[in-house]
Amino acid sequence: MNKWYEEFEDEELVDYREKWYEKFHDQEFTDYYESGEATVVHVVRDLAMEVNTKGKWIDVLSMNTFEPKSPQFEGHLGFNWIIVELFPRIQHPVYTVDREYNRYLTWQAAHEDIAKHRAEKHQGEKFLVLCKLKKVKHVVINEKNEKEERELVDYVVIDSCKVNQKQINTIESNADEIVKKIRAKRKPSLALFPI
């Protein structure tokens, strides 16, 4: 399955992402991309196979981030952990042929639906997701319209599990201790979390 970014070199991908979302002149949408939330949605929706997001919106409850020290991951955000809550979709946007505009429509619909669920005090399923940055091979179509394998930076999900609000509170109140354990082990693991 080809992903939208497979037509870009890795360096071009970062530049492209930095530019396209600003064209909508919506500060909340720009903040969504710049904060790392859009990346979290990508990780959970596209890579966390044990988290069923079909027909659901992904609300980012918590993410603990860091700047990777390795030059190969420069410009990418590292995650010690991600915590999300899933809500059923209410709206189903009508999409166009403009991929960028469709992302904006999706964000608007998700933003509005999640606000409605929150206003009505709905609770969704919550998940803890652990991932790491990795060079991964993708098949792309080159300028000669031929398939070509390229190495890009993406995320790989290490593990995930369902959590409740009490467990989330425990994770957040022990964040510094958890981060120290992750740094000592050099990668996240569910065993490091007090859940």
Rounded to an integer, the average pLDDT of 28-42 is 89
Distance of CA 187 to the CA centre of its chain: 18
Q: Which amino acid is at 124?
A: G
What SS3 class is residue 89?
A: coil
Q: What is the pLDDT of residues 59-109, one digit of tens each?
A: 999 999 999 999 989 889 999 999 999 999 999 999 999 888 999 999 999
Percent above pLDDT 70 for the chain: 90
Task: Look at residue 194 and tell me if it is in a domain.
Answer: no
What local confidence, expressed as pLDDT, does residue 8 receive? 45
Three state DSSP letters for 118-161: HHCCCCCEEEEEEEEEEEEEEEEECCCCCEEEEEEEEEEEEEEE
Task: Look at residue 70 and tell me if it is in a domain.
Answer: yes
Task: Look at residue 24 and tell me if it is in a domain.
Answer: yes
Task: Look at residue 195 and tell me if it is in a domain.
Answer: no
How buried is 139 (Cβ within 10 angstroms: 0-12 exposed, 13-18 middle, 19+ buried)? exposed
pTM score, two decimals?
Answer: 0.82
Task: Look at residue 58 and tell me if it is in a domain.
Answer: yes
Task: Look at residue 148 and tell me if it is in a domain.
Answer: yes
Task: Look at residue 193 and tell me if it is in a domain.
Answer: no
Q: What is the side-by-side order of every strand in the sheet holding 147-163?
A: 56-66, 78-88, 125-141, 147-163
pLDDT level of residue 21 (50, 70, 90 thresholds) = confident
Q: How many CA atoms lie within 13 A of 66 on its CB side?
A: 18
Task: Look at residue 33 and tell me if it is in a domain.
Answer: yes
pLDDT level of residue 50 (50, 70, 90 thresholds) = very high
Number of domains within the chain: 1
Which structural domain range is residue 159 located in? 4-90+98-187
